[in-house]
Amino acid sequence: MSVESQSEPKSRAFRRKTKECIANTFSMDFVRRILPIISWLPKYKPEYFLHDIFAGITVGLAAIPQGIAYAVIAGLPAEYGLYASLTSGVIYMVFGTCYNVTVGPTAILAVMVARQVTNYSADFAILIAFLSGICVFIMALFRLNFQVDFISMPVINGFKMAAALQIAAGQLKYFFGLEGSSGDSLVQSIQNLYTNITTVQLWETVLSSGTILMLILLQKIGQCCTRNDGFVKQKRWFIFTLSNAAVVAIGMVIAYIVKVSTDSEHLAVIGDIGSGLPKFSWPPFSTLVGDEVYGFRDMFSIIGMQSIVLLFMTIFETVAVAKAFTANVKIDTTQELIAVSICNVIGSFGQSMPITSSFTGTALNDASGVKSPIGGATKVLLIAVSLTCLTSSLYYIPKASLAGVIITEMFIMIDYGLFAKLWRNSRREFFILVGTVVGCLTTGLQYGLLMGMVQEALLILVYAARPKIEVNKIECDKGDVTVVSLSDKLLYCAVEHVRQKVITASSNEIPVVVDGSNITKFDFTAAFNLMAIVRDLDTTHQIVLFNFTDELKKICLDIESRYANKFVSAESYNEIIDALPKDV
């Protein structure tokens, strides 16, 4: 047979396998998974339309003041917060899997980028959005998002509480109309308040205080009311959902009246907001700050640790929101992360600050009765209209009103009851929560989060090194035995603890039974040290290894084969006396 005839089947087989691989990779199922809009759009029902329009308008009216407020927290021009809601809303509609989830800027992400923006320029926030999007995409692609599971609930809540306090403290400057800086931390903000207390402005203080009181009142009015209740409760619920927009609108009217009647601006306002849709261009890989040019490497080194913490918070909030609002429905968290990452990457081309899934926006969207991602399109349209037609009106938004809105939201975000619950049920986790809060407020959010994670890691190591071991004296028909019951994990770091327990238990003359019935996880080093314990006690005491698994027994005998008679399997401790080795 010729060489050509032999090689032809091989090349044909190679082409066939290549085609199969491409067909499987780019199958319709794969496309539907990557582009969920292909699945839900053909199934869209006309009766959903009014529900989606109502929900979109409701969320959009809330998103406008929220977006501006988050831009203020980040130290960005007000329009950047609207840009973020605009681009992310369109992209999530195509790539997102949860019909009721709303994405956009959040207070946590805003405060994470504030230092870079305040000290340098807005370009840093856009670059952070781009880089975090790339990193989240890679982590989702290789399913590395499991790493957020190592951040415990006390650490996350401690971080959020500290961030909320820091954000609220940063608004004291605008709450009282103070001179000076708002500060980068809680301590700096309080110092600024103390230093500039004589510059307190009456107009700002009255308006911000009134804003908070009105928000609390509207919250009480809408309490226990839903969209599906009777006519009166429906109206109360609607007033509550638009409370932020309402108090900001009232503040705008007051600011305008004050300016017209006094011919001066007694109230500090947001000022000019860039009119029109964002200009799309490449993310800034270099920037000019004053007379100094920062290249990509310089910008990346400045972002540093902050971007890692922001990355984890993006993943955590995305997964948490998706799980919270899709009860009894299987969600594809990987695709959710891919959707949010694409929102950040493409959004950075449209001057967007970092975004993730918004808990408050999603809660409002769900409560408004949204039926599909079309509701997000309505929100986007409303924001686009505000950017193109309403920027002259938004000029009069008082900073004091925004400060009142932000402070109210931050104090709502704090779970005050968590301290008492942890104190009653888990003191160790209580101190982790307190340590994280204190660490974040004193050293910075990113380092405080790291401190909380280190505390949690040390706690895990303590649990591994000091497992719960019960020592009991059991009275049997033919004699007594001391039973040392091991926990489910027998790791190398716990063996010294086990040794001390066994030695203490062997202080009398009765046999010692090491009960391994619960062991499900072990390592070779632990098995080696366990046999060392047996060897040390074998000459002076009767010691039995009770109900060890065959796998662990095999490893132990591979280490010390002469102690095979020490392993006993039985249904009760009563059977051990007869099975005790007679050679001791």
Q: What is the CATH number of the domain that holds 478?
A: 3.30.750.24
User: Whose CA is closest to 123, among 171, 74, 88?
Assistant: 74
**Co-location of 23 and 84 in the same domain:** no
Alpha-carbon span 95 to 90, nearest angstrom = 9
Bin 104: left if φ > 0, else alpha if -120 < ψ < 50, else beta. left
pLDDT at 233: 72
Choose the final residue of a domain: 420, 455, 481: 420
Together in a domain, 332 and 201:
yes
**Amino acid identity of 9?**
P
Which residues contact residue 254 at a Cβ distance below 8 angstroms, ignoring those fewer than 6 apart?
Answer: 207, 267, 398
334 assigned to some structural domain: yes
**Same-domain check for residues 273 and 309:** yes
Domain assignment of residue 443, yes or no: no
Rounded Cα–Cα distance for residues 142 and 145 (Å): 8
Instruction: Identify whether residues 302 and 359 lie together within a single domain.
Output: yes
Burial class (CB in 10 A: 0-12, 13-18, 19+), 301: exposed
3-class state of residue 183 by DSSP: coil
Tell me how far CA of residue 524 lies from CA of 65, 436, 461, in angstroms: 60, 36, 18
Angle at 205 between CA 197 and CA 109, to 5 degrees: 90
**pLDDT given at position 584:** 42
**Residue 120 is encoded by which pair of tokens?**
């340098």
**Reduced to 3 states, what is the DSSP secondary structure of residue 481?**
strand
pLDDT at 314: 86
Inter-residue contact 576 to 476 (CB < 8 Å):
yes
Write out the two tokens for 64. 């406008």
**What pLDDT does 185 receive?**
77
pLDDT for 22: 62
User: Could you tell me if 416 and 497 lie in one domain?
Assistant: no
Domain contains 317: yes
pTM of the model: 0.77
Q: What pLDDT, on the 0 to 100 scale, is given for residue 580?
A: 61
Does any domain span residue 457? no
Low-confidence ranges of the chain (pLDDT < 50): 1-7, 583-584
Give me the pLDDT at residue 356, please: 92
Whether residue 316 is found in the same domain as residue 179 = yes
- Within a domain: 335: yes
The domain tally of the chain equals: 3
In a domain, 441, yes or no: no
- For residues 252 and 220, is the Cβ–Cβ distance under 8 A? no
* pLDDT score, position 4: 46
Whether residue 293 sits in one domain with residue 157:
yes
Q: Do 203 and 280 lie in a common domain? A: yes
Q: Domain for residue 239, yes or no?
A: yes
Three-state secondary structure string covering 202-241: HHHHHHHHHHHHHHHHHHHHHCCCCCCCCHHHHHHHHHHH
Name the amino acid, one letter, at 26.
F
Contact indicator for 47, 373 with CB cutoff of 8 Å = no
8 & 72 share domain: no
**Are 158 and 63 within one domain?**
yes
Strand 521-522 vs strand 512-515: parallel, antiparallel, or unpaired? unpaired
Q: Is 247 helix (H, G, I), strand (E, B) or coil?
A: helix
Residues 281 and 350 reside in one and the same domain:
yes
Co-location of 383 and 406 in the same domain: yes
Residue carrying the six token digits 């003191």: 427
Return all residues near 455 (Cβ < 8 A) that are at least 6 apart: 155, 431, 432, 435, 436
Q: Please check whether residue 214 is in contact with residue 222, taking contact to mean a CB–CB distance below 8 angstroms.
A: no
Q: Which domain holds residue 7?
A: 3-34
In a domain, 143, yes or no: yes
The backbone torsions φ and ψ at residue 515, rounded to the nearest 5 degrees and listed phi first, read: -90, 115
